[in-house]
Amino acid sequence: MEQQDLNPIMRDLRTAQRLVVAFHQRMLPIIETIGSQLNSSFYYWQPVHHNAPCRSATSPFKKWKWDFSPLHNTVFHFLSDDIPSPHQLVEGGYMLVIHLVTDTAVDDAFESTKKSWNPLDIATGPEQSRSVLRIYVYGAERDGEQQEGWWKLYANHDWPMLDTDCVEFETGGRAFGLEFDIATLGTPEAIQGLIATIKDQLHSRGYAKFEQE
């Protein structure tokens, strides 16, 4: 059997690893800046479709290999600064959920397949896919204390539709969603434009008011 030359593949792999780290170095400060400038503090993060990497003493060999690529599709939760704890629902407070989707085709594959599959077999190529930030904002309709109340407001409901009116929850609370193409966020001005858009939406939908800068 003729031996395959793996040198080009290994070169691509080394390039990809460097690009991924550089992307994280770029995106994580942007996400942190969005949360900070929207008067909110970090609460929680997790991958959307699988687990985070296991602990050092846990064998990695039986784990789903996607667990070792946690930031490809991840949510970052922030609570507005007027919320004293995740267990305290505050009328007028809000939870900001920033959903990083580095490859919409991979996201669609998880949603449709939900089992082990070869990522190289995804029908939609990287050229036709997109990389986006989806911004979801959850608000409480009344004050109240509940164990992990803000998390439950998020976890017990489907994503709200993007770029539409607020969704009102029967259990009390509401949410809306926006989407931004990461390819358009190449300058500080573009990032500030994104933040200004979210602020306008928070204001117009009755979530919060921000001083004019």
Sorted by where each begins, the domain ranges of the chain are: 25-204
- Reply yes or no on whether the pLDDT at 195 is more than 60: yes
pLDDT at site 15: 97
Listed range (19-28, 141-150, 165-174) with the worst mean pLDDT: 141-150
DSSP letter at 140? B
SS3 20: helix
- 213 exposure class (CB count in 10 Å sphere: 0-12, 13-18, 19+): exposed
The per-residue pLDDT for range 158-194, each reduced to its tens digit, is 999 999 889 998 878 999 999 999 999 999 999 999 9
Determine the average pLDDT of the residues in 117-122.
Answer: 84
Answer whether 146's CB lies under 8 Å from 153's CB: no
SS3 content of the chain, % helix, strand, coil (to 5): 35, 25, 40
> What is the Cα–Cα distance from 127 to 116, expressed in whole angstroms?
23
- Reply yes or no on whether the pLDDT at 144 is more than 90: no
Higher pLDDT, 18 or 144: 18
Answer whether 101's CB lies under 8 Å from 60's CB: no
pLDDT at site 59: 95
pLDDT at site 138: 95
H-run or E-run covering 170: none
pLDDT at site 111: 82
Band (13; pLDDT cuts 50, 70, 90): very high
Half-sphere exposure of 93 (CA within 13 A, CB side): 23
Torsion of CA 206, 150, 156, 32, to 10 degrees: 80
Listed range (80-84, 100-104, 110-114, 176-180) with the worst mean pLDDT: 110-114
**Phi, psi for 37 (deg, rounded to 5):** -75, -10
pLDDT at site 115: 64
At a CB cut-off of 8 Å and minimum separation 6, what does 7 contact?
Answer: none
> What is the Cα–Cα distance from 106 to 75, expressed in whole angstroms?
15
Q: What average pLDDT is seen over the chain? A: 91
Band (52; pLDDT cuts 50, 70, 90): very high
> What is the Cα–Cα distance from 183 to 133, expressed in whole angstroms?
10
> What is the Cα–Cα distance from 75 to 100, expressed in whole angstroms?
6
pLDDT at site 189: 97
- Please report, rounded to a whole number, the percentage of residues in the chain having pLDDT higher than 90: 64
Determine the average pLDDT of the residues in 131-148.
Answer: 89
Q: Nearest 5°: CA angle at 119, between 115 and 122?
A: 95
- Reply yes or no on whether the pLDDT at 211 is more than 70: no
> What is the Cα–Cα distance from 195 to 30, expressed in whole angstroms?
10
